[in-house]
Structure 1
Amino acid sequence: MLQALGGPVPPNTDHAVSVSLPTWRANIGYEEGEDWVISKMQCGYPRFFVHPTIQKLVGEIIQRVGDHETETATLFASLKTAQLCHSFIISKVSDEQSQKVRIVNFIPSPHAEAGSTSITSSLVSVIYPKEFAPIAKQVWQHSGNGISSRRGEFCLRALQDGLLVEDKGSVTAESLSQRPCKGPRRYQGRGSLSGVAWGASTPTASSPAPTTNGAEDGRDNAQFIEERFGRNLSALYATQAKIAVRKRIAGVLTADVELPEALETASSGGRVDDISEEDVLLYPSGMSAIFNAHQTLLSARGPMQSICFGFPYTDTLKILQKWGPGCLFYGHGSSEDLDDLETRLKNGERFLGLFTEAPSNPLLKTPDLVRIRALADQYGFAVVVDETISNFLNINVLPYADIVASSLTKIFSGDSNVMGGSVILNPHGNYYQKLKETYARDYEDIYWAEDAVFLERNSRDFVTRIDKINSTSEEITAMLKASPLVKEVYYPKYSHTRPLYDSLRNPNGGYGGLFSVTFHSNAEAIAFYDTLEVLKGPSLGTNFTISSPYVLLAHYGELDWARSFNVDPDLVRISVGLEDLADLRSRFQRALEAVEKVKN
């Protein structure tokens, strides 16, 4: 059942979210950029690895409007998200070099604008010298705003068929920041989010456009959509899927029902009183949700320093450090850290918002949200909680937060074949009205239609999946906890912060499907990881059990820094899936036997 190095996880999946790194050595080789690993990579986690289809689309665009020898591009679904990338790059290079960074916009051709129920896509390219690629990669990774592989697939065909064309209107880089970006509607005509002008060069003799041109051949968008998707995808269908997803996230829909019934479910009885799907916003990834929550707070409250509380998922901290006035980091997330914060607040320091995870990744510690909420109310800062690890069926953090963010890529989807993220606004929060006004002005719905359809289908049975995963995880962690070969099991049930977790638990809530383990030596950790017969790669919350040496992957260049917050570089993180319990037990037992051989 083990997947070969570099293959998609899950196997045989065109839009897989993870990639197979089946041995400890392969993970190190990936981080070191060694050819024996990199050359085998068919895919990767989408924010860290550009999908081959998107790479091909970049090549098509550079062929038309750039220089293959010296330039490359990063692709976005809207002008606004492209502008963020453009601004970040030019902030890191000289004034002279910044002139080499430009934006080229592609819009649906007149043949593609076939009516309100047709699927079309804008495509905005930030084009820059290849040596700037590491800078652009930071935006792609941290913001999570880049296009999805399914959108890339659609745009590649549309571009080749002449249904997506360069907008020849000329706009200066300086005027870009003055252009309005109105949301949340995406499927609009020319002059809207679907097509705002940006200048670029035309194809040259040395880089001609492909000869295939569906528009010139009389092939219209309706025919293109029919061939690409069949009859089951339209703007209307995608909109309905999004409504159903938002109902589920609001907690007003937990039944496993088909889409028509999901849309009829009354919006009541959600996570908190008065919540509805109108308080839920969708994003192309979980990091996009967090990135845009931070951007929205900056817009709503002004430029202020943020707080990152607890050892976080790596990109959350990077967002707070790289965009805006900076970040006060409390890596232990302890009561002593809250004491220090309270002292600062009493002395007059003020903050934009506090960002935290409940529980944290990878140590599964739960912050004291009751105390945090009290400090926020007294001293005036927002609270943003990332609930990805446990999800709202296990715990309810919304009463203590102004904004709850989540990666829908994980357990909400389960199938590991689509990305997604969400933001939920607490209708009783201190900043609710201000945030609603700001989101109404600034929010863009750039979640791709086809991704929404897959996410809606995947999430219909998430309640029953989570119940089984909770139960199996408790059994497996108890087994590991009882073994003298295991140094530590990190799981909310066994954490010293368990009382804080339990205070957030729903009546039928469990402890989630994610845990981490450490061993008494590096050799033992390697033996366990290499022997464990599950899929290996980044990501979590999958319907199948998946494992990774998480700290190596997330913090390879800063292992000593991670260790200073009691995060063991040899930690193995495991996300439990839907396999039979007896089968999983036997796999973990064999991995422990390999540890014992090394120990002896």
Structure 2
Amino acid sequence: MPTTSYSTPPTEVGSPIPANTPHAISVALPTWQDNVDYEEGRERVVNRMLTGYPRFFINKQVEKLMSICEEKFAKPSESCLLFPNRKATEHCRTYLRRYFESNNPACFRLAEITIVTPDQSKSLTQGNVTLHIIFFPKEAFSVAKSFWQHTGDGISSRLAEFALNILQAKSNEQYTKNLYEVSTKRASFCKRYSNIQTSYSRNLDCEPKGTLFTDITSINDSFVEQNFYVEERYGRNLPMSFAEKAKLELRRRIASSLKIEENKDRLDNIISSSVDLSVLTERLVKDVTENEVFLFPSGMSSIFHAHRFLLTAFPPRKRCHFYGNGSSSDIDEIESLLESGERVLALFCEFPSNPLCKSPDLKRLRTLADKYDFPIVIDETIGNFVNVKVFEWADILVSSLTKIFSGDKLKKVINNEYEDLLWGEDAIVLERNSRTFRERIMKINENAEEICELLRNSPKVKKIYYPKYITPEIYLQYKTVKGGFGGLFSVIFHSDLASQQFFDSLIIAKGPSLGTNFTLACPYTILAHYNELDWASGYGVEPGIIRVSIGLEDKNDLLKRFQQSLDAITE
């Protein structure tokens, strides 16, 4: 079993998790008060944020590229956001027209800017980089940002970095020369960006102010140095010319891994927190090939597009019903709703749920779906298909690894609507990180179960939310033979003060996100529902809940750290 040594996690507020990475998936909020101050927008936290959870925080690379676009092409009263394709900007414009009050429908402008390399035959780059831009009034930024957040379709930080590197090499030849002279190894890196030109490609709805990016300011030297050494020096990444091959390997790996009962040895996937995959197949998951696998740039993006595909394939419905407990009584209410004659577009559920790890009765839901003719969308990210097998009960399966779409109507829609928005470098990193998934999950299962037993046996703990203890009679129906209970659990103590004491003394990485190779914790309700604590409490999500995603560290070391935090509780 793989094991990770445990170094001291980041303790500086706002620093990246993992440390010293420009494309970090989380951000350090080490104390309970740090999380509260972040939610309240306190300057002591907000002004120190070097990164953040990708959908909620615009990466510094993306932010810099946005500022350049604004400087060159925006009106003084405008801001902008960047997307990887035209459809995303059109969707954003539609969203703004609906939710931002304006007397001028023409105040939302779209543009395409393409950055090109003239001699692509000698370049190791992916080729042209096209930025799809929407300009809008500055006062509409918060509304536009909510679209960015809830769709997951914003440009990748690696795409932004790639574009900035090209522009930097063009505008600052001395910088490139200095980098070239450091060593022969680093010189090859510089050659990738030498003799590069940029050009304006085409404009859709506005006129640019002039030549693209002729006066870009320098990128921080140490930042480039750091990223270079992490992802280039040690050979962890392939050149960008391998991007399509990496995507093909990902598709093949996903296709084979879905046949878990037929060929367990080929299950070797893992996903990064910033990318999701989608697989088109029949409900029983037979004969899946790489040609039926589709890639999306993020988990939220794949969920958003699954909903969009459903809206295209079936008549839209006017209402949304929320059943936050996922219990038998909730299903009773759903059945009564359907019996009353109301039709639904689809039913979305988690298996198990986040953060309370409840497992809904999928077989009963499937019976209702077949009787009343609506698709079921199951998000099994928390369980993952190494541990649970829920494919046959879903029409669309959402996971940190896969989405399975069944039905001819959906297949036709997806084939017509799908666009590959996954940036090449993200695909390469994803492929690199997806080679030992099964082994990692088994280790994480073992670690998490031991930690949960420790906490469960402590009188200081009020309750543990873990699939082994929460609705186990349902979870075990779908658990695979060799699977476990996953790496995510939540814990609540007898008082909010006790929760704070435990959290503050816990020596692990602390920030948003889950499913990482390292253990990560956050005060879930504070981060996710700070402005609606009473509402969340109504569904059992109390303010003092701490969510933990267990990683690959040495089990005994983890047990020691969690015991020390239990000992720190004086309440």
TM-score w.r.t. the length of structure 1 is: 0.80
- Name the counterpart of 2:405: 425
1:217 counterpart residue number:
none
- The yes-or-no answer on 1:334 pairing with 2:334 is no
Is 1:436 paired with 2:411? yes
Please state whether the residue corresponding to 1:404 is helix, strand or coil: strand
What amino acid is aligned across from residue 24 of structure 1 in structure 2? W
Runs (5+) with no aligned partner, structure 1: 172-197, 213-225, 259-266, 305-324, 409-421, 427-431
Cα distance between partner residues in 2 of 1:133 and 1:387: 33
CA deviations on 1:458-489 (whole Å, 9 max, x unpaired) are 01011100001101111110111111100000
* Superposition deviation, residue 269 in structure 1: 13
Q: How does 1:110-259 map to 2 (within 5 A)?
A: 111=118, 118-159=126-167, 161=170, 163-169=197-203, 171=204, 198-203=205-210, 209-210=214-215, 231=239, 233-247=241-255, 250-251=258-259, 255=266
Q: Name the CA distance, whole Å, in 1 between partners of 2:216 and 2:354.
A: 50
- The one-letter amino acid of 1:34's match is R
Q: Look up the SS of the partner of 2:79 in the other structure.
A: strand
2:392 to 399, 409, 415: 399
Query: Cα distance, 1:507 vs. partner?
Result: 0.8
Q: What is the alpha-carbon distance in structure 2 between the residues aligned to residue 498 and residue 381 of structure 1?
A: 27
Distance 1:61 1:245 in 2: 38
Q: Which residue does 2:181 correspond to in 1?
A: none
Deviation at 1:107, TM superposition (A): 2.2
Alpha-carbon shift at residue 268 of structure 1 (Å): 12
Amino acid at match of 1:105: E
Unaligned 5+ residue runs, structure 2?
Answer: 1-7, 171-195, 218-231, 270-279
Contact 1:9-1:18 at 8 Å conserved across structures? yes
Counterpart pick for 1:80 among 63, 87, 90: 87
Aligned length: 508
Give the deviation of 1:302 after TM superposition: 2.0
* 1:506 maps onto 2:487 in alignment: no
* Cα shift readout 1:29-64 (whole Å, capped 9, x = no counterpart): 111111100111110010000000000000111111
Q: Is the 8 A contact 1:117 1:234 kept in 2?
A: no
Output one character per residue of 1:12-44: Cα deviation in whole Å (capped at 9) or x when no partner.
112110000000000011111111001111100
- The 1:37/1:300 distance shift into structure 2, 3 A limit, reads same
Q: Which aligned pairs between 1:55-70 and structure 2 lie closer than 5 A?
A: 55-67=63-75, 69-70=76-77
SS in 2 for 1:73: strand
Looking at structure 1, the residues matched to 286 and 116 of structure 2 have their Cα atoms a distance apart, in angstroms, of 46
In the alignment, structure 1 residue 390 sits paired with structure 2 residue 390: no
How far off its partner does 1:271 sit?
7.3
TM-fit CA distance, 1:533: 0.7
* 2:355 is the alignment partner of 1:375: no
Tell me if structure 2 keeps the 8 A contact 1:75–1:147.
yes
**1:214-267 CA deviation, whole Å, 9 max, x = no partner?**
xxxxxxxxxxxx999874534533433433453355346754889xxxxxxxx9
Deviation (angstroms), 1:274: 2.7
Corresponding letter in the other structure for 2:286: D
- Report deviation, 1:423: 2.2
Take 2:16 and 2:532, find their aligned partners in 1: how far apart are those partners?
27
> Does the CA-based 8 Å contact 1:76-1:147 persist in structure 2?
yes
Which stretch of the first structure deviates more once superposed, 117-126 or 57-66?
117-126
- Over the residues paired in the alignment, what is the CA RMSD in angstroms? 2.8
Aligned equivalents of 1:208, 1:589: Cα separation in 2:
55
Counterpart contact for 1:63–1:203, Cα < 8 Å: no
Q: Deviations over 1:141-200 (max 9, x none)?
A: 11001111001111223455465543334x4xxxxxxxxxxxxxxxxxxxxxxxxxx543
SS in 1 for 2:81: strand
Gap change, CA 1:560 and 1:571, over 3 Å in 2:
same
Q: Check 1:504–1:152 CA distance in 2 against 1; reply closer, same or farther (3 A cut).
A: same
- Letter of the 1:544 partner, please give it: F
Instruction: Tell whether the 8 Å contact from 1:363 to 1:490 is kept in structure 2 after alignment.
Output: yes
What secondary structure does 2:399 align onto? strand
Residue 466, structure 1, aligned to residue 479, structure 2: no
Distance (Å, rounded) in 1 between the aligned partners of 2:370 and 2:397: 17
Aligned to 2:430: 455
How far is 1:203 from its partner? 2.5
Alignment of 1:259-408 (within 5 A): 272-304=285-317, 325-408=318-401
Give the AA of the match of 1:404: L
Contact in 1 for aligned 2:66/2:82 (Cα 8 Å): yes
In structure 2, the residue matched to 1:263 is: none
Matched residues in 1 for 2:467 and 2:107: separation?
50
Give the direction of change, closer, same or farther, for the CA distance of 1:435–1:507 in structure 2 (3 Å limit).
same
Distance 1:55 1:454 in 2: 22
**Which residue of the partner structure matches residue 587 of structure 1?**
561
What corresponds to 1:515 in structure 2? 489
1:201 Cα deviation after fit: 2.2
State whether residues 268 and 434 of structure 2, in contact with CA within 8 Å, keep that contact through their aligned partners in structure 1: no
* Conserved? CA contact 1:62–1:71, under 8 Å: yes
Within 2, Cα distance between the matches of 1:211 and 1:513?
44
Deviations 1:63-111 (A, max 9, x none): 11013x5322111000001111111112123452432211111124483
Give the direction of change, closer, same or farther, for the CA distance of 1:251–1:125 in structure 2 (3 Å limit): farther
The offset of 1:336, in angstroms, is 1.0
1:536-551, aligned counterparts within 5 Å?
A: 536-551=510-525
Range with bigger deviation, 69-78 or 268-277: 268-277
Label 1:271 to 1:479 Cα distance change in 2 as closer, same or farther (>3 A): farther
CA separation in 1, counterparts of 2:117 and 2:557? 56
What is the distance in 2 between the residues matched to 1:287 and 1:277?
A: 22
Mapped to 2, the partners of 1:454 and 1:110 lie a distance apart of 23
Q: Secondary structure at the match of 1:293?
A: helix
Partner of 1:485: 460
Residue deviations 1:100-146, cap 9 Å, x none?
21111112448376699944332101111221111011111110011
- Residues 337, 208 of structure 1: CA spacing in aligned structure 2 closer, same or farther, 3 A cutoff? closer
Q: Secondary structure at the match of 1:202?
A: coil
Task: Give the match's secondary structure for 2:422.
Answer: coil
SS at match of 1:14: coil
User: Aligned equivalents of 1:343 and 1:211: distance in 2?
Assistant: 61
> Given that residues 104 and 166 in structure 1 are in contact (C-alpha distance below 8 angstroms), is that contact kept between their aligned partners in structure 2?
no
Q: 1:121 to 1:201 in 2, by over 3 A?
A: closer
How far apart, CA to CA, are the structure 1 residues paired with 2:199 and 2:241?
A: 22
Q: Is the 1:241–1:456 contact (alpha carbons within 8 Å) kept by the matching residues of 2?
A: yes
Corresponding residue SS for 1:488: strand
| Conservation of the 8 A alpha-carbon contact between 1:244 and 1:456 | no
Determine helix, strand or coil for the equivalent of 2:433: helix
- 101, 110, 123: which one aligns with 1:103: 110
